[in-house]
């Protein structure tokens, strides 16, 4: 049966209404499914952004940089030992220089020279008290007589082998003094170990004591 114009309009309206209802149902279903999704599926807002992950713990046995001001030396770096000593590198070098110069002068003499000449060769390196002691030993009758009778001439040199002791104002070095002696009897090279103590500070030192290295600590 052919529908009238009014009937066709009514059927069209019903179809449109049904389609509209179906659209609303589908939209509601989509929104419900979206709200059930995990929070992580949507872009984070300003308030719910995740905090950055904590830093990974340092593996056992790994090294960390020393704190500023630390005196520890970096791997492969030689530590500055002078921070633990009562003298500087320049001070130690100066004390060692005085010691070796004294050792060389102490082992150098000739049978023709006077005691005053021998002492003058080391006068600037030794204390007045030590100068008197060395002069007395050098001019002792038995020693002087032997030196002259054998016509001894000695050229000395000195090498520091170690530091025996040190304090705020003194350093004791162990020194080998080698004498190359020419004489009419018993000449040749001769090496003797001494403990030589220098006193002072900074770069100003003088020898204040000398004894055989086997005697003991100064």
pLDDT at position 81: 86
CATH 3.40.50.1400 for the 84-212 domain, yes or no: no
> Quick one: what percent of the chain has pLDDT higher than 70?
64
Flag whether pLDDT at 147 surpasses 80. yes
Domain ranges of the chain: 84-212
Whether the predicted pLDDT of 20 surpasses 60: no
In contact, 126 and 146? CB cutoff 8 Å: no
Q: Is 151 left (phi over 0), alpha (psi -120 to 50) or beta?
A: left
80 — pLDDT class (breaks 50, 70, 90): confident
Measure the CA–CA gap between 17 and 72, rounded to whole angstroms. 85
What are the φ and ψ backbone dihedral angles of 64, each rounded to 5 degrees?
-120, 160
């Amino acid at each position: 049966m052919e529908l009238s114009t009014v009937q066709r309009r009514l059927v069209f309206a019903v179809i449109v209404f049904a389609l509209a209802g179906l659209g609303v149902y589908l939209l509601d279903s989509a929104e419900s499914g979206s709200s059930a999704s995990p929070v992580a599926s949507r872009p984070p807002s300003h308030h719910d952004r995740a905090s950055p992950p904590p830093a990974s713990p340092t593996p056992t046995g790994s090294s960390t940089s020393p704190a500023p001001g630390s005196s520890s030396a970096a791997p492969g770096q030689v530590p500055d030992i002078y921070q633990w000593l009562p003298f500087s590198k320049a001070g130690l070098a100066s004390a060692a220089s005085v010691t070796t110069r004294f050792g060389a002068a102490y082992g150098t003499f000739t049978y023709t020279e006077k005691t005053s000449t021998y002492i003058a060769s080391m006068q600037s390196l030794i204390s007045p008290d030590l100068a008197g002691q060395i002069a007395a030993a050098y001019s002792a009758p038995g020693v002087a007589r032997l030196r002259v009778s054998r016509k001894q001439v000695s050229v000395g040199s000195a090498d520091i082998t170690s530091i025996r002791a040190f304090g705020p104002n003194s350093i004791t070095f162990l020194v080998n003094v080698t004498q190359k002696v020419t004489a009419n009897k018993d000449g040749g090279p001769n090496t003797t170990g001494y403990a030589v103590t220098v006193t002072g500070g900074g770069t100003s030192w003088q020898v204040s004591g000398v004894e055989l290295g086997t005697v003991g600590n100064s």
